[in-house]
């Protein structure tokens, strides 16, 4: 699942990362990895803080541009760009804003389409919790509500 997320980020990284003059070519792969890990870290944090219902609503009802979840991921990614790659805060935030909302919209589409089983919402949340608990029954219950 995490490899698939990396590929989803990579597929959407053209303008934001690959064609971005502030990100040297030797860092492209690492920056894409940072974007993927930012998504995973924030989603995991939501699960660990008991916000499963909010996560399900986020994936069930799109409209991510004004969502605090997307803002959290965007800010985390921008901070990593600034801290680890010395990209100034304004460019780091612009890069994150160019990439993260697009990737999250694609992730929502993937969870809804059902084509990629790794991105089925219950499977995604179960993987994020380290396979400790199968969250499919909970997701199915909350999706109906």
pLDDT digit string, tens, across residues 104-118: 999 988 888 766 676
What single string gives the DSSP state of each residue in 90-118? Answer: HHHHHHHHHHHHHHHHHHHHHHHH-SSGG
Comparing CA positions, the residue from 114, 118, 116, 101 lying closest to residue 143 is 114
Instruction: Identify the burial level of 113 via C-beta atoms within 10 angstroms of its C-beta, where 0-12 means exposed, 13-18 middle and 19 or more buried.
Output: exposed
Q: What is the dihedral of CA 66, 119, 123, 48, to 10 degrees?
A: -30
- What does the block give as tokens for 12? 């959407």
pTM of the model: 0.88
pLDDT digit string, tens, across residues 36-74: 999 999 999 998 898 888 888 888 876 654 588 999 999
């Amino acid at each position: 699942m995490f490899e698939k997320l990396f590929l989803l980020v990579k597929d959407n990284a053209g303008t934001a990362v690959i064609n971005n003059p502030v990100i040297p070519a030797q860092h492209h792969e690492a920056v894409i990895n940072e974007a993927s890990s930012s998504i995973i870290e924030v989603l995991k944090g939501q699960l660990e803080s008991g916000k499963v219902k909010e996560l399900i609503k986020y994936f069930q009802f799109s409209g991510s541009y004004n969502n605090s979840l997307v803002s959290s991921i965007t800010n985390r990614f921008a901070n990593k760009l600034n801290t680890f790659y010395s990209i100034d805060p304004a460019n780091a935030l612009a890069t994150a804003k160019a990439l993260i909302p697009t990737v999250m919209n694609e992730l929502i589409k993937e969870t809804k389409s059902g084509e990629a089983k790794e991105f089925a919402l219950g499977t995604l949340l179960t993987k994020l919790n380290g396979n400790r608990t199968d969250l499919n029954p909970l997701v199915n219950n909350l999706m109906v509500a």
